[in-house]
Structure 1
């Protein structure tokens, strides 16, 4: 996440609620890609309240791909779900991804058919 202070709390809550409904062990890991806004302080606040939440704080802005790699390298679980910090991907789809994995696939991917915003 780079300067996504408006997305940190809603994305965290959405992921947490989705994972709590699954009743399975989980961790939530965000990556702060050298934000200059309040993204990092929000992550610190969440971490102080939730033992399932962790974050990686990058000292320089490395961009999405390197930030993703930094996050993946710090995960502890067998299954990794990546979600962009702009809230364009709904964590409510995580159970569907996990269902596909349970069919024996080693990798599951999804894509969004419609996007909100100017891109």
Structure 2
């Protein structure tokens, strides 16, 4: 850390040396937390699946720095709820509007064969 002081409008740095070594495990645990949040936003895996996938090859020192599984599950739920807002439930067929991301599968295949935009026909859904 460095501090800058001023004397008579002259700036002179007072440098203090770090008196600790970098905490690699803390840095790695922050990377793990970011990866958990990314997976929560981009996958539909259950929180348990995300946790087991992430923690499968963790070093013990890093594992000690990450929160327990109940806190990780809460982080996953919060991340998903703030990023995945499903469309509101329609009260009539006229209000039924499907955004593009709801018309394809995770593999990029069409989920809906035909969407009659005037809403007089029903949706044909692939199984």
TM-score when normalising by structure 2: 0.27
Q: Which has more radius of gyration?
A: 2
Q: TM-score, normalised by structure 1?
A: 0.28
